[in-house]
């Protein structure tokens, strides 16, 4: 049983989620650390898939994800699930659900991740090939700034509290998955992973920088990356040249990984 999970087991069991309507209402029993404007709270996300070859790295669970994970953990506990099953279910709650999933799969397939994994398509990473993927966050536990979800500002490497959160939790996961590739979801996560690589936590050549974020709000960049929209048709907010460079770099990175086995 995970040590942190053991520590918070009773607090989760007795938690009345209906009484928690904002980050400021999370019970102090879940507080992990606080420093000035920053605070972090426990979430049951310790589950690490040690066989994973792809690690999808988000920024930090937000308040809604905290509530959903706690609700799922309570449900698992009530059903008599094992600790391992409870932690696994909590971590996968809502992972890449809705429209974001097909975009993400198409982006991974476009650069050849499925060939490196020797599967037909990355779509099966959310089904029969789930053991090959770890859905993670560079800040494993929810971090709030002035009581609001941390959204990437200030940059993680520039703030001591955030550096410590990365090193205390995410570095532990990375040490267990040295041969995986790491896919940052957003520029702030990319910056954080680069900083961790400089600390020797993970290998720089295993970080796949440059994929557009697969959210619906980023539809134009995704479409151009996938070759579904011509450069001449792009709006002024989308830099086609930068996307071209990122795509070529990713394709070369995957070619090198394929060659090295």
pLDDT in tens, 117-148: 999 999 999 889 989 999 999 999 999 999 99
Q: What is the pTM of this model?
A: 0.92
Kind plus residue range of the DSSP H or E element containing 181 = strand 181-184
Question: Read out DSSP for 133-158?
Answer: EEEEESS-S-EEETTEE--S-S-GGG
* Residues contacting 38, CB < 8 A, separation 6+: 143, 144, 145, 150, 159, 161, 162
pLDDT in tens, 199-237: 999 999 999 999 999 988 899 999 999 999 999 999 999
pLDDT in tens, 52-65: 999 999 999 999 99
- Distance CA(83)–CA(78), nearest Å, equals 12
Domain ranges, ordered by start, for the chain: 3-260
Q: What is the mean pLDDT of the chain?
A: 94
* Residues contacting 188, CB < 8 A, separation 6+: 59, 151, 152, 153, 155, 156
Residue 94: its pLDDT value, please? 67
pLDDT in tens, 1-31: 447 999 999 999 999 999 999 999 999 999 9
Question: Read out DSSP for 17-39?
Answer: GGG--SGGGS-GGGEEEEETTEE
Contact of 125 with 53, CB cutoff 8 Å: no
Residue 1: its pLDDT value, please? 41
CA distances from 161 to 40, 153, 168, 191, 198 (A): 10, 13, 11, 16, 18
CA neighbor of 119 nearest in space, from 100, 107, 110, 132: 132
Sort strands 148-149 and 143-145 into parallel, antiparallel or unpaired. Answer: antiparallel
Contact of 206 with 182, CB cutoff 8 Å: yes
Q: Is the pLDDT of residue 161 over 70?
A: yes
């Amino acid at each position: 049983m995970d040590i942190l999970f053991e520590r918070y087991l009773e607090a989760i069991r007795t938690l009345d989620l209906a009484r928690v309507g904002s980050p400021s209402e999370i019970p102090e029993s879940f507080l992990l650390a606080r420093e000035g404007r920053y605070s972090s709270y426990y979430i049951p996300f310790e589950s690490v898939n040690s066989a994973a070859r792809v690690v999808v790295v988000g920024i930090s669970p937000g308040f809604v994800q905290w509530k959903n994970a706690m609700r799922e953990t309570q449900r698992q506990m009530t059903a008599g699930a094992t600790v391992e099953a409870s932690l696994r279910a909590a971590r996968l709650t809502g992972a890449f659900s809705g429209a974001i999933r097909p975009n993400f799969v198409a982006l991974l397939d476009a650069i050849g991740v499925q060939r490196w994994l020797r599967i037909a398509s990355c779509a099966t990473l959310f089904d029969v090939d789930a053991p090959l993927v770890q859905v993670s966050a560079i800040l494993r536990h929810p971090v709030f700034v002035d009581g609001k979800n941390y959204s990437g500002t200030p940059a993680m490497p520039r703030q001591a509290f955030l550096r410590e959160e990365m090193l205390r939790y995410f570095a532990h996961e990375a040490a267990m998955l040295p041969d995986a590739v790491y896919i940052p979801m957003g520029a702030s996560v990319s910056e954080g992973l680069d900083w961790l690589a400089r600390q020797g936590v993970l290998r720089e050549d295993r970080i796949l920088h440059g994929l557009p974020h697969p959210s619906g709000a980023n539809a134009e960049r995704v479409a151009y990356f996938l070759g579904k929209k011509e450069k001449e048709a792009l709006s002024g907010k989308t830099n086609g040249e930068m996307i071209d460079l990122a795509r070529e770099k990713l394709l070369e990175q995957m070619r090198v990984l394929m060659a090295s086995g």
